[in-house]
Amino acid sequence: MDSLIPTIFFLFFFLGTISGAPYNEMKYDFQNYVSNTIMVDKSGRGNFTRVQQAIDSIPSNNSLWTRILINHGLYMEKVVIPRNKPYIILEGDPKHDTAIEYGDFGSVIDSPTFKLFADNFVARNIIFKNSYDRLITPGPNGRKTTWAPAASISGDKASFYHCAFISLQDTLSDDVGRHYYYDCFVEGAIDFIWGNGQSIYEKCQLRSVTDKIGVPGFITAQGRKGLKETSGYVFKDCYINGTGPIFLGRPYRNYSRVLFASTYMENIITPEGWSAWEKRSLNLITFSEVNCKGPGADMSHRVPWEKKLSDQEVAYLTNPAAFIDQEGWLGKQPN
């Protein structure tokens, strides 16, 4: 009889909630519960040997979180998470490198090593790499730089913790949706964070490798298309280093919006800071720096059309709860 008490209590509680207002809240809690864990191990000691196999095994339109644990090692494959596979956590080994790598090139659509289309996604301790730059050689007959993304992120409510994105050109296609990157590493030389995402990068390292291309490069190429669009890139408490010279960004579209706040910049940033790229209406672009430090943060020779944002605008853009986390989705993602 005593063993039935917990079961009876649970049924009483559950049935009571579905008849009243608390049901929606309880349902949402169940949606954020990790219902299944899958192990990927390249040596065969898990459920699958390839990451894509694990993703393919998840039922379409799943409504409960599935955690895919990836044992350390190098996984040479392309990985795609389609739109009908939400609520996935990709988690690598926190103590040893876990890398997903491929070397495709020539297309920002087809070449990314990792492509995310689904909403509600978390990645931790994963290196996403496009290895095409290894093939680049100097001289008229050598391989040239071209589009070679490490990752393309097109889902909403996606977060990345302690991840790395490595390539040379168009490294991270931060394409569309609300995204949060914490303590991540992004390496590239040409437009290595680009697209029309609505994203905050907090305590991230941005590493320039323009020595590989021999000309100035660009960290960002944000693609906001209109004044009413909420997209933009915000870099908060970040660190920029590597080789230079490199511009902080250039406008991919007319209403491009990028803010660097409280970011330390090594002496690799071009004096003008930003490039106009093509002939655009410069008054529509929102490129700004606030409270940045380091030798690369010298503002004395910046372009005259860089925006000076109000304290209220800076507070809004740098606050995740205001800019990207309006429904509190970040705090509700599983640990």
Indicate which residues carry an active-site annotation: 170, 191
Crossing angle of the two packed helices 22-31 and 5-18, in degrees rounded to 10: 120
Contacts of 187 (CB under 8 A, 6+ apart): 164, 165, 166, 167, 171, 206, 207, 208, 209, 242
CA–CA gap between residue 45 and residue 50 (Å, rounded): 12
Length in residues, the chain: 335
Query: DSSP assignment of 309-324, as one string?
Result: --HHHHHHHH-HHHHT
CA–CA gap between residue 187 and residue 86 (Å, rounded): 27
CA–CA gap between residue 114 and residue 110 (Å, rounded): 10
Strand partners, 124: 91, 161
Q: Quick one: which H or E segment has residue 236?
A: strand 232-236
Residue type, 121: F
**Residue bearing tokens 């672009």:** 285
**Residue bearing tokens 């898990």:** 46
Contacts of 75 (CB under 8 A, 6+ apart): 40, 42, 50, 51, 98, 99, 100, 101
Do residues 238 and 206 touch, judged by C-beta distance below 8 A? yes
Q: Residue 284 has what DSSP assignment?
A: G
